[in-house]
Amino acid sequence: MSRTFSRPVRAEPVEALSFSSAPAERKDSPSTGSGRTGLADSKYGPRHVAIIMDGNGRWAKKRHLPRAIGHKRGVEAVREVVRAARTMGLEALTLYAFSTENWRRPEDEIGALMGLLKSFILSDLDEFAANDVRLKIIGDYKAFAPDIVELVEHALGRCAGNSGTTLAVALNYGSQAEIAQAAAKAAAKGPITPQTIEAELDTADLPPLDLLIRTSGEVRLSNFLLWQAAYAEMWFTEVLWPDFTPAHLQQALEAFAQRERRYGGR
């Protein structure tokens, strides 16, 4: 069942946009392994970071390139940030890849995003599997074209036994619909309380959201993790998503370490 309107879109062949992935790191690699070596080891380190990856279009526009190239470079940033999240010891990284509102984009752009999603899974799945990355989808990915649904489910199955960093990808995700559905499920089971609603959210099995990052200078949540962000720290940067690197993630973690979290208390 689709949460909002959606239309079948053919994933664009991405030969023209294709990229190669570095060889998969092995679980037993002494240099990286799945050990937690980064800032997140400290008692101030966030367990769960989410990112609104914004600015692919502007990155491309500045260079007089098609928007699809901005998205392609965005995927390359995703790859590096996922690797960094793992080595920094994050328990969960949630990425806003496709919102329920993104269906309003032109069909060719949606097709390019779908093609990139497919090629990303195909090229990076071995690396996730080898590095104990647990893959999770939030949102109604089943509204996507059957070949994408099949590929996503293959990837989920392949990483199902993993217990390292969780990479949660938001696909056809909208937070208001998520909350409404969680409330309906909670009501069907018994009393509606914040706890019973929270237990039905797509993120129920993830640690509480600690830090929410948005790139490209926009300062809004855009229907992403509205419930989960209740006590999250926010970090906004002017950097456009394709230019975002692990050093920026480190910068955000350092800013997080300086924040005093009081959760409404004193």
Residues near ligand FPP (CB under 6 A) are 53-58, 71, 74-75, 78, 95, 97, 102, 113, 116-117, 120, 169, 216, 241
28, 41, 102, 124: the active-site residue: 102
Do the Cβ atoms of 49 and 213 come closer than 8 Å? yes
Please report, as a single letter, which amino acid is at residue 257: A
List Cα–Cα distances, 65 to 14, 56, 60, 240, in angstroms: 16, 11, 5, 15
Nearer to ligand FPP, 51 or 182 (CB): 51
Output the smallest distance, CB 216 to ligand FPP, in A. 6
The pair of structure tokens assigned to 183 is: 């409330």
- Would residue 56 show up in a list of annotated catalytic residues for this protein? no
Output the smallest distance, CB 155 to ligand FPP, in A. 11
CB atoms within 10 A of CB 262: 8
How, if at all, do strands 48-52 and 92-99 pair? parallel
Nearer to ligand FPP, 41 or 101 (CB): 101
Output the smallest distance, CB 167 to ligand FPP, in A. 9
Output the smallest distance, CB 260 to ligand FPP, in A. 31
28, 41, 54, 132: the active-site residue: 54
- Would residue 126 show up in a list of annotated catalytic residues for this protein? no
The pair of structure tokens assigned to 3 is: 């949460």
Q: Rounded to 5 degrees, what are φ and ψ at 164?
A: -85, -145
Give me the residue whose beta carbon is nearest to ligand FPP. Answer: 57
Nearer to ligand FPP, 90 or 169 (CB): 169
List Cα–Cα distances, 246 to 72, 79, 81, 126, 200, in angstroms: 18, 10, 5, 21, 32
Please give the positions annotated as active site.
Answer: 54, 102
